C-alpha cells in the first residue's frame, strides 16, 4: 500500500504545480493508494517557511476530504498548531500522527479529534522516557504501529537504514510498556490499522 503527499520537510522541492500534480495523482489513484501523506508541519531548521507550510497542509487536508482519504501526519515542534488545523478541517476519515513524541495532553487532544498516535522506533530508546510514558498511558485503541523506514532507526541499529520488518521489535517493546496481554495488543493494533486505512490483510 502507498500514500501520496507533499512533506513539509521538503518544502524547497515543492513547486507551484506540485499541489496540482498531487490532485491529479489522487484523482486517478490506484486502489493501493490508501492515504494522503506524509503531510504536516515542521519547525526544525533555520527557515521553515511556516506560513507556506500551513497553506500547503490546509490544501492537502482539503484534498483528503475531497477524496475521502485518511491522512498520515508529520509534526515536529508543532503539535498544538497541527491540532488547530485538524479541528478546523474536521475530516470524516481521520488518520495517524506518525512518530509522535509530544506530551500526554497533546496526544489526548489528537485522540479526541479522532486521530491515532503512531508508535515507532522512539520507544525502543530507554532515554525516551516521556514518549514511552505517553504510549503506556494512552488507550490501546488509539495506537498504530509503525517504523518510518528507512528513517527513525531503532535502539541498537543507529546509523543503519530502518526496515519495515523492524515493526516486530517496536511491537516487542510496546508489549513491555503496556499492561494488556500480547495477543490482545496485536489484535487491537491490527484492527486499528484496518480501520484507519480501510484495508484487510
- Work out the burial of residue 126: count CB atoms within 10 Å of its CB; fewer than 13 is exposed, 13-18 middle, 19 or more buried: exposed
7 is in an annotated binding site: no
CATH number at residue 174: 3.20.20.140
Max alpha carbon distance in the chain (Å)?
50
Is the CB of residue 131 less than 8 Å from the CB of residue 107? no
Which structural domain range is residue 182 located in?
Answer: 2-197
Q: Return the pLDDT at 15.
A: 86
pLDDT tens across the length of the chain (201 residues): 999 999 999 998 998 899 999 999 999 999 999 999 999 999 998 888 999 999 999 999 999 999 999 999 999 999 999 999 999 999 999 999 999 999 999 999 999 999 999 999 999 999 999 999 999 999 999 999 999 889 889 999 999 999 999 999 999 999 999 999 999 999 999 999 999 999 986
Whether 38 has a binding-site annotation, put simply, is: yes
**CA 112 to CA 108: how far, in whole Å?**
6
Question: Using alpha carbons only, how large is the chain's radius of gyration in Å?
Answer: 16
> C-alpha cell of 48?
521553515
Is residue 74 marked as binding?
Answer: yes
Kindly give, in sequence order, each residue whose CB lies less than 8 Å from that of residue 19, ignoring residues fewer than 6 positions away: 6, 56, 59, 60
**According to the annotation, is 148 in a ligand binding site?**
yes
- pLDDT for position 82: 98
Rounded to two decimals, the pTM is 0.95
Find residue 4's DSSP bridge partners. 36
Q: How many domains does the chain have?
A: 1
Question: How far from 96 is each of 19, 33, 99, 140, 157, CA to CA, in Å?
Answer: 21, 16, 9, 14, 25
Our CA dihedral for 71, 115, 199, 165, rounded to 10 degrees, sits at 90
Amino acid at each position: 500500500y502507498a500514500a501520496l503527499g507533499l512533506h513539509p520537510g521538503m518544502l524547497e522541492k515543492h513547486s507551484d504545480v506540485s499541489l496540482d500534480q498531487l490532485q491529479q495523482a489522487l484523482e486517478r489513484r490506484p486502489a493501493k493508494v490508501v492515504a494522503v501523506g506524509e503531510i504536516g508541519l515542521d519547525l526544525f531548521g533555520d527557515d521553515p517557511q511556516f506560513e507556506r507550510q500551513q497553506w500547503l497542509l490546509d490544501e492537502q487536508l482539503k484534498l483528503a476530504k475531497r477524496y475521502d482519504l485518511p491522512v498520515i501526519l508529520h509534526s515536529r515542534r508543532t503539535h498544538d498548531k497541527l491540532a488547530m488545523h485538524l479541528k478546523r478541517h474536521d475530516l470524516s476519515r481521520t488518520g495517524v500522527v506518525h512518530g509522535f513524541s509530544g506530551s500526554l495532553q497533546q496526544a489526548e487532544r489528537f485522540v479526541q479529534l479522532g486521530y491515532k498516535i503512531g508508535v515507532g522506533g522512539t520507544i525502543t530508546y530507554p532515554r525516551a522516557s516521556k514518549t514511552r510514558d505517553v504510549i503506556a498511558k494512552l488507550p490501546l485503541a488509539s495506537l498504530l504501529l509503525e517504523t518510518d523506514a528507512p528513517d527513525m532507526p531503532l535502539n541498537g541499529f543507529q546509523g543503519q537504514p530502518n526496515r519495515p520488518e523492524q515493526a516486530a521489535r517496536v511491537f516487542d517493546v510496546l508489549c513491555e510498556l503496556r499492561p494488556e496481554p500480547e495477543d490482545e495488543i496485536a489484535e487491537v493494533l491490527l484492527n486499528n490499522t484496518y480501520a484507519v486505512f480501510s484495508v484487510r490483510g
